[in-house]
Structure 1
Amino acid sequence: MSDEFRDQENRPDPDALLALASRSRKGRLTIFLGAAPGVGKTFAMLSRARIRQMAGTDIVVGLVETHGRAETEALVEGLEILPRKTLEYKGRSLEEFDLDAALARKPAILIVDELAHSNLGESRHPKRYQDVEELLASGIDVWTALNIQHLESLSDIVSQITGVQVREIVPDRVLKQADDVILIDLPPEELLARLREGKVYVPANAARATESFFRLGNLTALRELALRRTADRVDDEMVDFLKQNAIEGPWRTSERLLVCVGPDELSEKVVMTASHLSSGLNAPWLVVCLERADQVDEDPQRQARVDDTLRLAERLGGETRRLYGRDFVEELLKVARKEHITQIVIGAPRRSSLQRLFRRSLADELLNRLGGLGLHFVTEDKPSGRRSFDLFKRFGSRRVGLTPRQYATALLVTVAATAAGRAIIEVVALPNVSMLFLLAVLVAALREGYLTALLASVLSALAYNFFFIPPIGTLTIAAPHEVFAFIIFIVATLLAGGIASRLHKQALLSARRAAQTQTLYEVSSKLAGTLDREAIVWTAVSQLNSTIQRPVALLAPVDGQLELQSSWPPDTELGVAELTAARFAYEKGEVAGSGTGTLPNAKLQFRPLRGPSGTLAVCGYAPDAEGLDPTEEHALAAILDQVTIALDRSALTVKSVEQSARLENERFRSALLSSISHDLRTPLATITGAVTSLKEFGDRMPEESRRDLLISIEEEGERLSRFVGNLLDMTRIESGAVEPKRDWVDVGEVVLSSVERAKRLAPGIDISASVAQDLPLIRADSVLLGQVLFNLIDNACKHGGGEPVTVYAKIEGQAVAVSVTDLGKGIPEKDLDRVFEKFYRRSKKTDGRKPGTGLGLSIAKGFVEAMGGSIQVESPAVRRRGTRFTVRFAVEASANDMPVAKGRQVV
């Protein structure tokens, strides 16, 4: 292996370095973790605080609950305590942590006790850990305390161990994102002794706690959970350190879990169990929801249960995905192979004997077809036993009642089939009249679904028996073959109704998915065709409103402040609660507002649009009491994904344009510096050398040599003056500070004076001028016009190869045109559009003259346009060679009443 390849292999993990860099921009979170109340978390935290205070650290107590413990209260004395704020709750005044005061004080370290505490309803955040996250984001280090039973993934285990339902919970990510976790451990016997001595609770409460929560077995189990979780935390820190420093460490075999969930009630337990396995194995886990591609579950409760299960998995740190297909086992195995799954977790609900006889479960199929993977079954909590009428209970758990419309449909199709059959029999004897009832069942299935078809088949069987099978008018059947025909009729109607109902559902599902696809196509086509941010925002708002039929608002940052960009309907107003929820969703990247745990009183629910570079915008919509159905939820998520991609693309385009502009400015700056360094150094060197020669040898030089040196000084000084003047003129043009005087100007005089000035600088070049007779005066600035003509003549002299230069002034229609023509090599056609660019220079000089700065033509164009004229270039100009620059100024109507200049000829 080469050294270069070995260096690449041993370099630090980029993701680990990015995570480390992101943490460095926030405050540090230190959690004092304990197995149960009373182990000494707050005592240890305050003891460290006093040590840090004596060392000179700015440390403040934001909130500490001493619970009347004397030794804890003694540690608080001498520390700066932040005053609490008073809130009214159910007619009582209660004190809460003052988040705004803490942000305003902004100490180096802030102590905030009881991380799992729930805030009062008027607080900014519903949970205290959210207050802590805002403090960390502002750069404040926070010390806090937490008991192991308050972790969300362990709450159900703690409930099983202790028999006490844990209501105050904290997401596991809070503990994972902590910078330091300090375990405060105390043997269960010592904790029980402290409890009996009244050092944990008052005696009355201590007695009740000993009978319920504080038992030796409970405390031992909680202690084990705390030790295990802390050990996992230390192991994660070691792995991060190895990755950040490119150290080859003891890497473990990677485990990855696949978790299967559905709309059943057992799925929540499956997710919790998988979370425990993931924590114990320190393995990532993927949660998939299995849905049939050819069926749709129209029960809103089951769909809501699926959505809640997936959200729970995301909160616990799992990745979620929906799978569609007919063969669930095959789909699971595809995902397992693609994602390198090592273990599968699946629920195994109890099944009746009838179900086991006629249908294999997903767990059974996995056992038969699975190879090389571990399989975990999660069972129900209820004790196993004989389950009578399980099938009927299963159907009873769903909504199987018929609506009045469905009853009426089943009855009407049966009556219609009966009437048609009796009418036909009166005319002609028809042996297969039962086909009419089969048709009626098919119509019921297509109109109202399978349950209606089932009812129609029962009514049709009764009507067919009563009105058409002898003896007619009774429900008895006389002939044996009629009994067989009647049974076949019932089976046929049930099968036909089921097939028709399934076809009807599939047609509805196909139509619904086609509508979703069409909506996504329209959104993507509209968004793909534009890079304008306003157009993207308007398209997003209009499409979302038409899709979910609810008010929609989209907010995006403008100069660092979140502002409303567009809404539909346009009169949608956002109050203080809505704006606060929108800011929370943007800053935290979490859903907030109506229907969530954060600011639920807001009228809108806000969802962040997270792109690769962070949160780009926030979309809010007004949910109703039932929320979005699964179809609307999927459509909303898909459209928001498309909008996020479009906004990210627009932002990248803007950055690309800005980057191109910066690169162009850098190129101009480099060219300017290069030009300045050359064009200043050359004349200054000549002047310095001439002055030095005159100073040291001037009294011994001949008069002619001294005169030549003085002429050189004069020429280089003039050249330096022109160069500085060009820079100043270019600066005036770019800043828009050129304000030409609008006076009557004799173009002929300006042409002649410019030619005379150019002749002094280029005595060896033939420069001639011709001014037409009766040339009218124009409105212009004579100084700027003279500078323009001089720059054009000077450019012709430099690039004309020593050939003659001619200047013409004449009338062209309603304009005065002045042209400057040289007979040089000319300008290539590909460069004609570039001659007026700054610092553009043509080929090297052939007349021995020094090169220019490349600003003369740019200045000429800027001055001409500032005076209201136009300038153009053509090449070749004469006999397939040379270049001609033409300047034109319109003749104002009032100029016809002014005196005109007489023609002049200069040779």
Structure 2
Amino acid sequence: MADSDRHREKRADPDALLALAGKQERGRLTVFLGAAPGVGKTYAMLSRARRVKEDGGDILIGLVETHGRSETAALLEGLEVLPRRSIPYRGRAIEEFDIDAALARHPHTIVVDELAHTNAPESRHPKRYQDIDELLAAGINVWTALNIQHLESLSDVVAQITGVPVREQIPDTVLKKADEVLLVDLPPAELLERLKEGKVYLPANAARAADSFFRLGNLTALRDLALRRTADRVDDQMVDYLKQNAIEGPWPSAERLLVCIGPDALSEKVVRIASRLASGLNAHWIVASIEPVDRAVADQAGERRLDDTFRLAERLGAETRRVKGSDFVEEILRLARREHATQIVIGGRRLSFPWRLFRRSLPDALMEKASGIGVYVVTGDDTMPPPTTPVRQRPLMLRLAREVGVALATVAAATGFGLAIGEWVRLPNISIVYLLAVLVSAISSGYLAAIVAALGSAVAYNFFFIPPFYTLTIAEPHEVFALFVFLAAAMLTGGLTSRLREQAKVSGERSVTTQTLYDYSRKLSGTAKQDDVVWATVSQLQGALSRTVALLLPDQGELRLQASWPPDTELGVSDMAAARWTYEKSEEAGSGTGTLPNSAFRFIPLMSPHGVVGVCGIQQDGELLEGTEERMLNAILDQSAVAIDRARLSKESLRQAAALEGERFRSALLASVSHDLKTPLATITGAITSLRQLGDRMNRQSRDDLLASIDEESARLSRFLANLLDMTRIESGSVEAKRDWVDVVDVINSTVERCRKVFPDRAIEVQLAPDLPLIRGDSVLLGQVLFNLIDNADKYGGAEPIRIYARRDGDELALSVVDMGKGIPEKELEQVFEKFFRRGKPDGRAPGTGLGLPIARGFVEAMGGTIKAESPAQKRKGTRMILRFPIEDMPVEAETIS
């Protein structure tokens, strides 16, 4: 047992091995990290590139910014430099990195400077690190340079240290995914000396930089951040190596952070600090928001801020959660225990003195109940923006004024009603009228209106209905007690009523969403065709989001617009480029994303278990979807993807079934042709060989028998080939029956005479009703049908005669061919009309070709008639083939001819 335990402990970590396998499919990213501009990152990259070039390596300079430094520019000599792409912007040309040319060149290693650079507006990606990620995905190794202040989690710290806001930012995950981080370090004093000598910036810019950013304290602090972050990255690489090679620890403790945020402005700071804390602890972290279950979303600006904070957390490498709950403390602790969090990070502001008397802050409540879990509180500062923007303040004040106005109006109405009633009847419980006013205020306007109405009711009740009247003085002690009881009851009742109102509102909104999704699910469940699914999707999305929607599906290898709403929507060149990117890469593109953001549409891949089945475009024009709209969109697209995939698989299944049927048809055709051709050919060949070799020595009777067999087998072969041609004509739809007037009696008689010559040993009886009418049809096709039916009866009809009947049956002419053979089982009555369906004879002789009856049905239907088989026919045996043709009124000319 001990040996097995030791063996398990030394086994490599599977997650680490999977991560390593994933990296092997991509190019390697090497980041030259510096504390500030001018430390020599680009110089170090080019020096290393020259050494690789001298060793015969394949290295390409994709883009390098020399900033006028002659030493750096000199290193470019002799290296292959990729030409830049010129992008017109506001009347001038901007030189940018040409990612398409780099992918086409596909070098082993490429140097792309300035990782945090923002591309020109018409570029495929808004940021250069996204260009580099595409190069890595293509298997190209990339060298790049980065200054520490551009990391998104450190941007606020750097701005606080230097006083200069950082405009260019990249997610911390870019650095975490780097395979190699090389620190390019230079002491601050030496960097300042280089700045004075003009080796960092041109003289005009150097003086301005020295006065703002390049100060000794700033450079020292930035150097400390760069050293710490590089050390953290080295620690991560060492831990990964130990796990991949099953080398025993000591391992660091597995810290897990739970970060709680809300719609306030402090949440962004909380996320940034939590990112730095998680990076320092090498910890997994989750960002969660607890949303009340009984509150409707009233502050749209706060909801947008919350969505932005979630997106920031995802860029910094966190997982995100949205949790519904009424008790914030319990929900946070429950989530922390479920996720095995060791620390909770939360933002908080110190409550002012009056509020501290009535309630505790959320951090205080967490610290009281969070047993065994650390609580890290992030406080705000004076520089934090206000909770609401000035644009939102005016509507908020109007809403508050409305609620107060409603409350005062209901109190005034209750007072007037009480005074009017008092003129007629003296009511000892007039306070009930004010309680009604509180309920009306709570239902119509909410909790604030209920509180105002309760306070106003207490004052009005005291002033008008408690002696001494028309003063706020209370004479009797029990009146004081009654007033306070009334006030407490009014506030409690108003609060409960207001909460029920909010819950009803939220329930109504959720029921609408649920009903919408339910109706859509039912609509999809009854939809089998892909076109119906597509139109149902675009109409549902347009109705739910009130935005232009486009749905694109692959068609013969090319992505095409299948449906849109409004139907006249057209996609431009940039829109189609973003849509194709989404389909090929299975990533979002277009407006609001990191790829081709200039498109007016945001394109989302429709993912199914079998991959991307299509692309959905939602027109945004810079206006992002709300959180509820985003969740509605995801739910509809998930269902649509499954429905489209189901329709595609159903179509593919039909195609496969048709292919299998075609294969079965070909196999049956080959088997039938090989047999039915070999048999008569073998007979003919044998007879001819015998005549050649023994012709002079054979008597006349023998020679006549051989010639008769040649004639018979030739006729049989001719009929078989004719059947094949007829079947081909029927399946191709090229059978065109004539619409002449046909005398059925003549066709029957001529066909019977032909059959008696072909089947001389078969007795055929004909019974025709007198005065049979003419029918519209083709006499040749009808004769062939009768011949095939008689031929089939000859094979399966036994020794008794074949009988042919014809009579008038109402508005139809019924013609039947009856044999007295064994008959056909009921389950095979319809199968006999299928191609190559054959039944063996009792004596073991081969059956027919299996084409006679299918040809008969094809010809009859071409003439507008029907054919079916009945068995037994007479005396519990035999088969009856019944043909029915409609009888039309015959014109005078036809009657004269007949």
TM-score range, shorter chain: 0.7 to 0.9
CA gap of 1:269–1:867, structure 2 versus 1, over 3 A, is same
Which moves more between the two structures, 832-841 or 294-303? 294-303
SS in 1 for 2:829: helix
Q: Does 1:664 align with 2:661?
A: yes
Q: Does 1:145 align with 2:149?
A: no
Is the 8 Å Cα contact of residues 60 and 79 (structure 2) preserved in structure 1? no
Matching residue within 206, 212, 215 for 1:211: 215
The letter for the 2-side match of 1:380 is: V
Which moves more between the two structures, 155-164 or 601-610? 155-164
Which residue of 2 is the match for residue 830 of structure 1?
827
Which residue of 1 is the match for residue 796 of structure 2?
799
Which residue of 2 is the match for residue 509 of structure 1?
506
Matching residue within 869, 873, 878 for 2:874: 878
- How far 1:849 moved relative to its partner? 2.8
Q: Structure 2: how far apart are the matches of 1:493 and 1:282?
A: 54
Cα offsets for 1:358-379 (capped at 9, x unmatched): 55666666667667xx745342
Q: Structure 1: how far apart are the matches of 2:695 and 2:193?
A: 108
The letter for the 1-side match of 2:837 is: Y
Cα offsets for 1:753-786 (capped at 9, x unmatched): 6556655665554444556666666555555444
The letter for the 2-side match of 1:884 is: R
Which residue of 2 is the match for residue 380 of structure 1?
378
Q: Structure 2: how far apart are the matches of 1:490 and 1:567?
A: 58
Which residue of 2 is the match for residue 443 of structure 1?
440
SS in 1 for 2:490: helix
Which residue of 2 is the match for residue 325 of structure 1?
325
Q: Tell me the C-alpha RMSD between the 2 structures.
A: 5.1
Which residue of 1 is the match for residue 226 of structure 2?
222
Is the 8 Å Cα contact of residues 86 and 93 (structure 2) preserved in structure 1? no
- How far 1:345 moved relative to its partner? 3.8
CA gap of 1:845–1:306, structure 2 versus 1, over 3 A, is same
Matching residue within 608, 621, 629 for 1:611: 608
- How far 1:422 moved relative to its partner? 3.5
Q: Structure 2: how far apart are the matches of 1:726 and 1:231?
A: 82
Q: Structure 2: how far apart are the matches of 1:593 and 1:164?
A: 31
- How far 1:135 moved relative to its partner? 7.0
- How far 1:68 moved relative to its partner? 4.1
SS in 2 for 1:81: coil
- How far 1:877 moved relative to its partner? 1.6
Q: Structure 1: how far apart are the matches of 2:663 and 2:17?
A: 35
Which residue of 2 is the match for residue 295 of structure 1?
295
Which residue of 2 is the match for residue 87 of structure 1?
88
Pairing of 1:643-722 with structure 2 (within 5 A): 643-679=640-676, 719=716, 722=719
SS in 1 for 2:549: strand
Q: Does 1:731 align with 2:728?
A: yes
Matching residue within 29, 32, 36 for 1:31: 29
Which residue of 2 is the match for residue 6 of structure 1?
none
Matching residue within 412, 415, 419 for 1:418: 415
Is the 8 Å Cα contact of residues 768 and 807 (structure 1) preserved in structure 2? yes
The letter for the 1-side match of 2:644 is: L
- How far 1:885 moved relative to its partner? 1.8
Which residue of 1 is the match for residue 861 of structure 2?
865
Which residue of 1 is the match for residue 550 of structure 2?
554
Q: Does 1:347 align with 2:346?
A: yes
- How far 1:882 moved relative to its partner? 1.4
Is the 8 Å Cα contact of residues 161 and 221 (structure 1) preserved in structure 2? no
Tell me, which stretches of 5 or more residues in structure 2 are unaligned? 1-10, 388-392
Pairing of 1:210-359 with structure 2 (within 5 A): 211=215, 215=219, 218-219=222-223, 221-223=225-227, 225-226=229-230, 228-229=232-233, 232=236, 259-272=259-272, 287-328=287-328, 331=331, 341=340, 343=342, 345-347=344-346, 349-352=348-351, 359=359
Is the 8 Å Cα contact of residues 594 and 623 (structure 1) preserved in structure 2? yes
Cα offsets for 1:22-75 (capped at 9, x unmatched): 997xxx5443322226335742785488479x67x7x87554434445455544
The letter for the 1-side match of 2:144 is: A
Q: Structure 1: how far apart are the matches of 2:624 and 2:256?
A: 34
Which moves more between the two structures, 852-861 or 198-207? 198-207
Q: Structure 1: how far apart are the matches of 2:261 and 2:331?
A: 14
Q: Structure 2: how far apart are the matches of 1:781 and 1:175?
A: 83
Q: Structure 2: how far apart are the matches of 1:19 and 1:705?
A: 88
SS in 1 for 2:375: strand
- How far 1:314 moved relative to its partner? 3.9
- How far 1:449 moved relative to its partner? 1.7
Which residue of 2 is the match for residue 121 of structure 1?
121
SS in 2 for 1:880: coil
Is the 8 Å Cα contact of residues 827 and 883 (structure 1) preserved in structure 2? yes
Pairing of 1:31-180 with structure 2 (within 5 A): 31-36=29-34, 38-40=40-42, 42-43=45-46, 46-47=49-50, 50=53, 63-68=63-68, 70=71, 74-75=75-76, 77=78, 79=80, 81-89=82-90, 92-98=92-98, 112-131=112-131, 141=140, 143=142, 145-147=144-146, 149=148, 150=150, 152=152, 165-171=165-171
Q: Structure 2: how far apart are the matches of 1:719 and 1:257?
A: 88
Q: Structure 2: how far apart are the matches of 1:552 and 1:128?
A: 30
The letter for the 2-side match of 1:553 is: V
SS in 2 for 1:93: strand
Q: Structure 2: how far apart are the matches of 1:13 and 1:882?
A: 74
Q: Structure 1: how far apart are the matches of 2:23 and 2:788?
A: 57
Q: Structure 2: how far apart are the matches of 1:881 and 1:191?
A: 115
Which moves more between the two structures, 194-203 or 723-732? 194-203
Is the 8 Å Cα contact of residues 86 and 94 (structure 1) preserved in structure 2? yes
Which residue of 1 is the match for residue 390 of structure 2?
none
Q: Structure 1: how far apart are the matches of 2:276 and 2:670?
A: 65
Q: Structure 2: how far apart are the matches of 1:380 and 1:671?
A: 80
Q: Structure 2: how far apart are the matches of 1:720 and 1:757?
A: 17
Q: What is the number of residues matched between the two proteins?
A: 860
Cα offsets for 1:587-622 (capped at 9, x unmatched): 555555556666666555555443333444444555
Is the 8 Å Cα contact of residues 39 and 184 (structure 1) preserved in structure 2? no
Q: Structure 2: how far apart are the matches of 1:849 and 1:820?
A: 23
Q: Structure 1: how far apart are the matches of 2:701 and 2:47?
A: 97
Cα offsets for 1:858-902 (capped at 9, x unmatched): 222223323443322222222222112233444565587458999
CA gap of 1:634–1:183, structure 2 versus 1, over 3 A, is closer
Is the 8 Å Cα contact of residues 871 and 885 (structure 1) preserved in structure 2? yes
Q: State the TM-score, normalized to the length of structure 1.
A: 0.78
Cα offsets for 1:321-345 (capped at 9, x unmatched): 43223345655566667x6646464
Q: Structure 1: how far apart are the matches of 2:147 and 2:663?
A: 58
SS in 2 for 1:506: helix
CA gap of 1:564–1:271, structure 2 versus 1, over 3 A, is same
Which moves more between the two structures, 355-364 or 511-520? 355-364
Matching residue within 887, 890, 893 for 2:883: 887
Q: Structure 2: how far apart are the matches of 1:511 and 1:780?
A: 68
Q: State the TM-score, normalized to the length of structure 2.
A: 0.79
Is the 8 Å Cα contact of residues 556 and 563 (structure 1) preserved in structure 2? yes
Cα offsets for 1:166-200 (capped at 9, x unmatched): 43334566678x8x845445455699689949897
Cα offsets for 1:438-462 (capped at 9, x unmatched): 3333322222222223333343344
Is the 8 Å Cα contact of residues 288 and 322 (structure 2) preserved in structure 1? yes
Which residue of 1 is the match for residue 7 of structure 2?
none
Q: Structure 2: how far apart are the matches of 1:803 and 1:44?
A: 105
Q: Structure 2: how far apart are the matches of 1:481 and 1:174?
A: 73
